[in-house]
Amino acid sequence: MSTVTTSTRPVDAAPGRTAAARLQAWLPRLVLSPSIAISLFFVYGFMLWTFILSLTNSRMLPSYEFVGFAQYARLMENERWWVAATNLGIFGGLFVIICLGLGLLLAILLDQRIRQEGALRTIYLYPMALSFIVTGVVWKWLLNPGLGIQAMVRGWGFESFTFDWLIDPKMSVYTLVIAAVWQASGFVMALFLAGLRGIDDSIIKAAQLDGAGLPRIYWRVVIPCLRPVVFSAVMILSHIAIKSFDLVVALTGGGPGYSSDLPATFMYTHAFTRAQIGLGSASAMLMLGGVLAILIPYLYSELRSRKHG
């Protein structure tokens, strides 16, 4: 993690009287000011703006007729929102857990002096370079029952094999998990591998001298050392989950029906295609709340660990 302490001393330009010197002293602030202004307006201002919109009865166009928290109340009574929110729970939970498990497993295996380790790493990680749209398009093709994996396995002679999650409203959300795990698990592997390489060998040697077997060493010594990595990975993955939009659009289109909607697609649909700007804004604010709920504990523990060295 980044360290704040450096050797930089705030050397202010000599308190010269000339305009040029004064300009020099202010130049850093001047250079930063457009970015600060942008941040204040486009990030903080827009968050406030969306919050204000969420308190109005805006439909097609923004209006500023305030209705208090009525949009949030409507959201709470909206069945489609609950489907989206529940889906986020299922999708996010499975996505995070499977990515962590698979990432850790692959990292540990790769850490055993494997031949061609670099090539394997490259293969595991390349999906992360793709757009979620490409991932969605490919997996939609793989998962379509007519010509995809189902047809392939049936062609091998397993006539009754069924894998039609893409068109099954009860299972469609799990197709999102498959595609998202495919895309992001290699990245988690890379995080864990970096963590493993950073562990001090002497701890492990000591455990070996004590006669502990390899699985036991991993379970009792190595994995606990990786706790910070687990923490960051959970943060990043849940962030990806909450923001997931493109994958849903490309893979399931939110369907069948709205069975695989996520909050991000719910927000977009209501704000941009169903002329429900107020309701869409309320859902965006709840998404922000979700991100803050994972971000604040993370930052808190980061700052604390920094203080404790």
Min. distance of Cβ 282 from another protein in angstroms?
11
Question: Looking at beta carbons only, is 142 or 166 nearer to another protein?
Answer: 142
Min. distance of Cβ 167 from another protein in angstroms?
15
C-alpha to C-alpha distance for 146 and 150, rounded to whole angstroms: 7
Question: Looking at beta carbons only, is 19 or 170 nearer to another protein?
Answer: 19
Question: Looking at beta carbons only, is 187 or 258 nearer to another protein?
Answer: 187
The dihedral built from the CA positions of residue 141, 143, 149 and 154, taken in this order, carries a sign that is negative
Min. distance of Cβ 77 from another protein in angstroms?
21
Structure token digits, residue 98: 């499977």
C-alpha to C-alpha distance for 173 and 34, rounded to whole angstroms: 42
Structure token digits, residue 117: 């380790």
What amino acid occupies position 122? Answer: T
Min. distance of Cβ 226 from another protein in angstroms?
12
Instruction: Enumerate residues 6+ apart whose C-beta is below 8 A from 193.
Output: 107, 110, 111, 121
C-alpha to C-alpha distance for 207 and 228, rounded to whole angstroms: 21
Min. distance of Cβ 29 from another protein in angstroms?
6
Q: Is 168 left (phi over 0), alpha (psi -120 to 50) or beta?
A: beta
Q: Within 10 A of 266 (CB to CB), how many other CB atoms are there?
A: 30
